[in-house]
Amino acid sequence: MNYTKLSITSVILAGVLAGTAGYAATGEHPGTPEEEMRYKGAPVPIDPGAAKEQLTPGAPAISEDEFARAKTIFFERCAGCHGVLRKGATGKPLTPDITLPKGTEYLKAFIGYGSPGGMPNFGSSGELAQKDVDLMARYLQHEPPVPPEYGMKEIRDSWKVLVPVNKRPKKQENKYNLKNVFSVTLRDTGEVAIIDGDSKKIINIVKTGYAVHISRMSTSGRYLYVIGRDAKINLIDLWMKTPDNVAEIKVGMEARSVETSKYKGYEDTYAIAGSYWPPQYTIMKGDTLEPLKIVATRGMTVDTQEYHPEPRVAAIVGSHEKPEFIVNVKETGKILMVNYSDLENLQVTTVNAARYLHDGGWDSSLRYFLTAANKSNKIAVVDSKTSKLEALVDVGQIPHPGRGANFKDSKYGPVWATSHLGDDTISLIGTDPKGHKKNAWKVVRTLKGQGGGSLFIKTHPKSSHLYVDTPLNPDSAVSQSVAVFDLKNIDKPYTVLPIADWAKLGEGPKRVVQPEFNAKGDEVWFSVWSGAKQESAIVVVDDKTLKLKNVIKDKRLVTPTGKFNVYNTMHDVY
């Protein structure tokens, strides 16, 4: 990319942002690992055309066509970091009160060359043409276009019961061992593959929303809930002769999380989904997805006490101690304990944690919820029995545990582990305040893995191994393999399993992602995730021997990512 036409001032500014002008031209980001860069900025599945345009007096001229193009670029490349309203998330705020004083030349340098704080070098890398860099510099000085709200009318209009409850099976009509069935996300086709874990055969390919983020089970194990990034939820009845959709609903324009009621007496009664846009959560009937209650999450942040208009709902878990959903609100750093025993008089306990809350899971007792505040480099611990914050634990750079991993350390007792996006460490946190009080809510051991870029870590109560993936690591040898630690000899060097090599695929990135155990705990499944037009696979490993057991290949397995075993998901086994 040729930037010789930039003013001397712009080049100097780019150098200041980057550390030196020479650094800027390389596109490197000191202090920001490439694996973190790979994680940021996923496209926002909101139609840019639905966002209302607002021109700002005093801002640079921009035509209607240019504004429309800039909206699309921002939603596809920038909103994941900076937020739809540009108020800041993992990226800095980019509202006109900040951008107008900077001016077009400064912003062109910033967009073109990036920054050491993690801003990609869109210009010098060639990702954006010079005219688009100029366009985005002008666009960012105008008020951000606001997508429409999505309330009860819109949600109810999207709601469909495809098979009424009274027309559904009274008992299981198929002969599958449902405890060992897997729901596998097919990211780029908007589907999930329902796979029989015993035979390794695909039972059905079910149409869903775009890029399913998570699959959750009803407490009974009958109903499977999946939610796409486009906020569409599908309810799948596993009792049908061929499991398929029985209801669907769209709870917003972008979302990540769905969960079901688990407390005794409320099994299968309610479902909840959290939205990125609008920032809210929706409570529904468990067997039909009928929407019952919508609650907004806009409010003040836990640290600076500033109002945030776009606090997205991240992970949600169902409490085993009370009739409560535990809801992570990312940008405000608050954890909400939502009591569903009386929806008309909803009681919500707010627990102040840290920004920016993302994913997490239970300790082995199912009492304590441990969740990543990823940009704060902390794990927040909530006691679901008292509905209070137990601790904030400092860990490595950008923890990303998935649900985490529980096991008993030979020296420190019960621990929960997280890996990290930003470094190669695995943090082990003590979780037994009664039996091992001095170790509780502290990092008792730090392991070194293959590298940064980890998304998931996994073990099983019947396993003596800990599996750590690294799909976002820039080294293909690392992203295409997994590290395995021997829990009986935790200080020993890890073993590397060449999962992608075992799959014997053709060209493609072949990122190995998300270990998931079968119901018995003697097999581990891995997705080998390539491009939408390239062959992917699922590799099954024998947990006892760490040898290849099966490779599942099928032309319908397009971009497989997350996998969720029915039994383990029902019982929060990880």
Active site residue 436: no
Out of 358, 420, 460, 465, the active site residue is: 358
DSSP assignment letter at 166? G
Give me the sheet containing 457-458, strands edge to edge: 457-458, 465-469, 482-486, 495-497
- Long-range CB pairs of 502-509 (<8 Å, 24+ gap) are 502/539, 502/548, 502/551, 503/528, 503/537, 503/539, 503/551, 503/553, 504/551, 505/530, 505/534, 505/535, 505/536, 505/537, 506/534, 506/535, 507/534, 508/534, 508/535, 508/536, 509/476, 509/479
- Rounded Cα distance, 375 and 71, in Å: 26
Out of 29, 37, 119, 152, the active site residue is: 119
- Rounded Cα distance, 292 and 282, in Å: 7
Beta carbons within 8 Å of 192's beta carbon, 6+ residues apart: 183, 184, 185, 186, 205, 206, 208, 212, 215, 226, 234, 236
- Rounded Cα distance, 213 and 226, in Å: 8
Active site residue 358: yes
Out of 82, 142, 213, 308, the active site residue is: 82
Q: Exposed (0-12), middle (13-18) or buried (19+): which is 366, by Cβ within 10 Å? A: middle
Out of 29, 213, 308, 400, the active site residue is: 400
| b/e code 140-154 from CB counts within 10 Å (16+ = b) | bbbebbbbeebeeeb
- Rounded Cα distance, 289 and 156, in Å: 10
Helix (H) or strand (E) holding 389: strand 388-394
Tokens at 245, concatenated: 């959709």
Closest CA to 368 of 425, 406, 409, 411: 406
Active site residue 78: yes
| 122, 384, 431, 440 from 435: Cα distances, Å | 52, 19, 9, 9
- C-beta of residue 385 within 8 angstroms of C-beta of residue 403: no
DSSP assignment letter at 36? H
Active site residue 119: yes
Active site residue 420: no
Active site residue 152: no
Closest CA to 373 of 344, 352, 346: 352
Residues with catalytic annotation? 78, 81-82, 119, 358, 400
